[in-house]
Structures are given as C-alpha cells and as structure tokens.
Amino acid sequence: MTAERGRRATTKQTEFGPTGRQRLVRKTRNSTCAAQSDTPGALGLGRLIRDVPDFPKPGILFRDITPLLQDPAGLSLAVEFLTQPYRDQHIDVVVGAESRGFIFATAVARNLSAGFVPIRKPGKLPAEKRSLTYDLEYGTDTMEIHADAVRPGQRVLMVDDLLATGGTMRACCELVEQIAGNIVGVAFLIELAGLKGREKLTKWDVYSVLRY
C-alpha cells in the first residue's frame, strides 16, 4: 500500500499484515512511483501488480498481487526470484507467516529442497508452541510457532509477500530464534521502502524482489 497519486500527507492507515488483523499505522505518504529492483529481469513482474485506489480506505493505494498469482509465468518467476539468492545457502527450513506468506514460502521451500514451517495466529497450532506478543501503534498482536518446528542450528529462510512496517516479520524472526533457528535471510516479493521496515530488521539480511 502506498499513497494516492500526486499527494504527500501524514495520515492514519489500515495495514493488513500476515496475521490478517487490521493494524493502524501512522506514516508519511509519497506520490505513486514505479517499481524498482536490483534483480535482473524482475521489473516485468510490476505489470502484474494491480494498483487499487482507495482500498481498504480512501486515500490509500493498495498493491494487489492476485493478478500475479493468476498468471502462470508471473507466479513462476516470482518464486524463482525469491529463491535465487539462497540456492547455495544450504537452507534447511523456509518459514512463512499466516497467511500470504504460506503462498510463497512453500514454493520456495520446494525449490530449495527444504522443509516448510508455518507461523500462525493464536489457537491454530495443535502441539506445544512458543508465542510472541508484539506492539502495534494501537494495541498488540501475537504469533505462534510449534516448539519443535526448527531444530537448534538449522539454517532458516524467512519468506513473506510484503515488507511494510516490519513489525510482524521481526516478531516472526524472534520466534524462530527462540527455538534456536539460525536465520540466514529474510526475503520479500514487495517492499514498501517509504515505511522503513528494514529498520526493524537490521539484525538479519533482507532481500526484496520489487521496491515501491
């Protein structure tokens, strides 16, 4: 999500994170810009990212990935671009957060011949688990992982569709480290650079395919 075209303002915005819960964030919004990328060939994916004005509320431009998911070549390329930096990194487990993270993390895990581990909303995992509650601008949220999901020292890649403010991914990374996973990298399909989510993830190596 970014600002409406040609405007710059400070506003409260609803962000939909991997938990599926609404989170209000305050941010400075810049005018709409084209996608950027350091990955050769990746900019073509930008044509499959649909801009939806005034969603989920007036003044917000939503980056919709469903046209990319519907396109066989686009989906294949997106997964490949997320996979490429880690092919020689000996990844043991790919972790994805509910729910959009599941889409890409499972596909990347298959490409890397690695396992997949879900991080879920409270009450969704049946066995012994670890939980982490983290602060939002207005309120808190909680994520959970099975206590035996990652063995100590396993090399872990974190994958999600979107890096916005970075709070949810930071919580997910801290959960993995609670159970002694070794996070090799954190990969996103889309990064909203203006929200400075990387600043919450400076402990880990962050990669994004497309930046807005």
pLDDT of residue 138: 76
Task: Specify whether the CB–CB gap between 202 and 174 falls below 8 A.
Answer: no
Confidence of residue 28 (pLDDT cuts 50, 70, 90): very low
Helices in the chain by DSSP H: which ranges?
66-70, 72-83, 100-111, 167-178
Q: Which of 100, 120, 130, 170 is catalytic?
A: 100
Q: State in Å, rounded, how far the first CA of the chain is from the last one.
A: 9
Q: Where in the chain is the domain with CATH 3.40.50.2020?
A: 72-211
Cα–Cα distance measured from residue 96 to residue 57, given in angstroms and rounded to the nearest whole number: 27
pLDDT, tens digit, for every residue of 177-211? 999 999 999 999 999 999 999 999 999 999 999 99
* Reported pTM: 0.84
Question: Is CATH 3.30.470.10 the classification given to domain 72-211?
Answer: no
CA distances from 39 to 155, 194, 205 (A): 23, 19, 16
Check the CA dihedral 25-193-76-170 and report its sign. Answer: negative
Max Cα distance, the chain (Å):
50
The question of whether 100 is a catalytic residue gets the answer yes
Strands 139-146 and 129-136: antiparallel
pLDDT, tens digit, for every residue of 128-146? 999 999 988 778 999 999 9
pLDDT, tens digit, for every residue of 77-102? 999 999 999 999 999 999 999 999 99
Q: Residue 32 carries which side chain, given as an amino acid letter?
A: T
